Chains A and B, each alone.
Chain A
Amino acid sequence: MKRSYGLALFSSALALSTVASPPAFAAQPRDPPDGIAKIETVVVIFAENRAFDNLYGHFPGAEGIDKASKESLQQRDRDGSVLSELPPVWDGLTAKGVTPPVTQAMTEHLPNEPFTVNDPKGFNVPLSVVTHDLWHRFYQNQMQINGGKNDMFVAWADSGAMPMSNWDASKTDMWAIAQKYVLADHFFMGGFGGSFFNHQWLICACAPYYANADKSPAKPSIAVTDASGTALKIADNSPKSARDGIPKFVSDGNLTPDFYAVNTMQPPYQPSGNDPAPGGDRLLADPTKPTTLPPQTEPTIGDMLSLKHINWAWYSGAWQYTLDHGNKTPIPNFQYHHQPFNYYANYAPGTEARREHLRDAGLAGASFIQAIDDGALPQVSFYKPQGNLNEHSGYADIQAGDRHIADVVAHLEKSPQWPHMLVVVTYDENGGIWDHVAPPKGDRWGPGTRIPAIIISPFAKRGYVDHTPYDTTSILRFITERFELPVLHGIVVRDKAVAAHGEPPLGDLSGGLDLN
Chain B
Amino acid sequence: MDADRIVALVTAAGIELTDRRRNAKGDGWSLSFSSGATVEVGDDGSARVAGKGSKAVAKLLDMSHAPRGS
CB within 8 Å of B: which residues of A?
90-91, 95-96, 132-133, 135, 158-159, 194, 220-221, 246, 254, 263-266, 272-275, 289-291, 326-327, 329, 335-337, 392-396
Scoring B residues 1 to 30 as 1 if CB is less than 8 Å from chain A, else 0, what string do you get?
000100011011111101101000000000
Asked if residues A395 and B36 are in contact (CB atoms below 8 Å), the reply is: no
CB-CB under 8 A from B35, the residues of chain A are 273, 327, 329
Asked if residues B14 and A272 are in contact (CB atoms below 8 Å), the reply is: no
CB-CB under 8 A from A290, the residues of chain B are 19, 21, 32
Q: How far is the CB of A64 from chain B (nearest CB, A)?
A: 26
Q: A290-B21, A396-B14 are in contact. Are A327 and B9 (CB under 8 A)?
A: no
**What are 22 A-to-B residue pairs whose CB atoms are below 8 Å?**
A90-B8, A91-B8, A95-B12, A96-B13, A158-B11, A159-B12, A221-B21, A246-B4, A264-B18, A266-B34, A273-B18, A273-B33, A273-B36, A273-B51, A290-B21, A291-B18, A326-B70, A327-B35, A336-B34, A393-B14, A394-B15, A395-B15
Asked if residues A96 and B18 are in contact (CB atoms below 8 Å), the reply is: no
Asked if residues A266 and B18 are in contact (CB atoms below 8 Å), the reply is: yes
Asked if residues B8 and A394 are in contact (CB atoms below 8 Å), the reply is: no
Contact among A133, A194, A254, A273 for B52, CB-based, below 8 A: A273
Asked if residues A91 and B18 are in contact (CB atoms below 8 Å), the reply is: no
12 A-B pairs besides A91-B8, A329-B56 with CB distance below 8 A are: A91-B9, A95-B13, A96-B12, A159-B12, A273-B53, A274-B52, A326-B70, A327-B36, A327-B52, A394-B15, A395-B15, A396-B14
B60 interface contact, C-beta 8 A:
yes
Q: A273-B35, A291-B32, A329-B55 are in contact. Are A133 and B18 (CB under 8 A)?
A: no
Asked if residues A327 and B16 are in contact (CB atoms below 8 Å), the reply is: no
In the assembly, what is the distance between CA of A292 and CA of B70, in Å? 18
Chain B residues 27-58 with CB under 8 Å of chain A are: 32-36, 51-53, 55-56
A335 nearest in chain B by CB position: B34
Contact among B12, B55, B56, B70 for A91, CB-based, below 8 A: B12
Asked if residues A275 and B14 are in contact (CB atoms below 8 Å), the reply is: no
In the assembly, what is the distance between CA of A392 and CA of B15, in Å? 10
In the assembly, what is the distance between CA of A336 and CA of B36, in Å? 9
CB-CB under 8 A from B16, the residues of chain A are 194, 263-264
Q: A246-B8, A326-B52, A329-B55 are in contact. Are A133 and B36 (CB under 8 A)?
A: no
Q: How far is the CB of B3 from chain A (nearest CB, A)?
A: 12
Asked if residues A337 and B13 are in contact (CB atoms below 8 Å), the reply is: no
Q: How far is the CB of B32 from chain A (nearest CB, A)?
A: 5
